[in-house]
Amino acid sequence: MSRIKTIEWKENAAVIVDQTLLPLELHYERIENVESMYDAIKILKVRGAPAIGIAAAYGLYLAIRNFPDDRSVDRFLEFLNEKAAYLASSRPTAVNLFWALERMKRRANQIIANGISVREAKALLLDEANEILEEDRRTGKAIGEAGLKLLKGKKTILTHCNAGGLATAEYGTALAPVYVAAEQGTLFHVYADETRPLLQGARITAFELSKAGIPVTLICDNMSAAVMASGKIDAVIVGADRITRNGDTANKIGTYGLSLIAKAHGVPFFVAAPFSTFDLSLSSGKEIPIEERDPSEITCGFGKQTAPSGIDVFNPAFDVTPSHLISAFITDKGVILPPYEKNLSDVLRKQE
């Protein structure tokens, strides 16, 4: 089974899969400057919270790699902070973007505090970006192994949007248990919601699963209730873009509705995410900023007008699923069950 490399550092540039071209074309694009990385994140060439974090780390290195070696370290840090703020403005909801940029900034300050030169600092920051990518690979496998234990005895999974390998460095989050199971010789059957309006489930999830030899059935978003009512689904697993202290979870628009349908049919609803996606500075989902995207994604999706000209449009990219609808979180630190606020804090304390 082969998994597509979403993002990697190769020949002095970040190389990404341009996901706007899927499923018709698998195109690898070289990103050689911070402006190109900003655009790649903004227009969804790279997407998925963990992959966005990795992209941001490489983007920040691309911003500073040509900074003059003979300038002061204070000006270097000032420049780095300016470019981090620029990258942070690309998308507002996925917390991994901000987590990765803050990690790079902390590393830069540690390096400079140790008296290391600007030239050496730049090389060490590339090392840090590479480590963020490698950590994500390890994290994905850990999520997969934890989720596989939770899914024992289940055969069919419904997922929404794309939280597979193309949303991360390799294994994915929601699909990580599927890939780990396949490595061990067991195949789940995955039902994939198409995920309006940008069809990430149809264009990306169905694409990567079929390419990996995983049985996949594509359904329209409005079919999920009927499919669950028919008894075809054993569990729902989705990814996340930000999870608050009480367990409220922001994910691709449509996730909240799917959680209500799962609750109505007695189907467990799991959220898979690395700990970098948990934002414990926020007490509840009411505090999560929700990105609103261009109305043309709905009225003129993929170049064909499907709505009257001038119509009012509301196009939030994410919604928030309340924690009481989530059966468990599958993380790189293991499975976390309710009560979430207490158990998330307990996990964090164990890491200190």
CA-nearest of 136, 194, 144 to 170 is: 136
* pLDDT given for residue 182 in this prediction: 96
29 DSSP β-pair partners: 16
What CATH number does the domain located at 145-351 have? 3.40.50.10470
pTM metric for this prediction: 0.92
* pLDDT given for residue 347 in this prediction: 86
- What average pLDDT does the chain have? 96
* pLDDT given for residue 159 in this prediction: 98
193, 241, 248, 319: the active-site residue = 241
* pLDDT given for residue 1 in this prediction: 58
Q: Which CATH class is domain 7-138?
A: mainly alpha
Q: Are 168 and 89 in contact (CB under 8 A)?
A: no
**Which residues in the chain show pLDDT less than 50?**
none
User: What is the DSSP track for 157-189?
Assistant: EEE-S--SGGGSSSS-STTHHHHHHHHTT---E
Tell me whether domains 7-138 and 145-351 share a fold: no
Q: What is the pLDDT of residues 99-141, one digit of tens each?
A: 999 999 999 999 999 999 999 999 999 999 999 999 999 999 9
* C-alpha dihedral sign at 323, 268, 165, 160: negative
Q: Where are the domains of the chain?
A: 7-138, 145-351
CA-nearest of 331, 344, 318 to 94 is: 318
What are φ and ψ of residue 258, in 5° steps?
A: -65, -35
Whether 193 is a known active-site residue: answer no
* pLDDT given for residue 345 in this prediction: 86
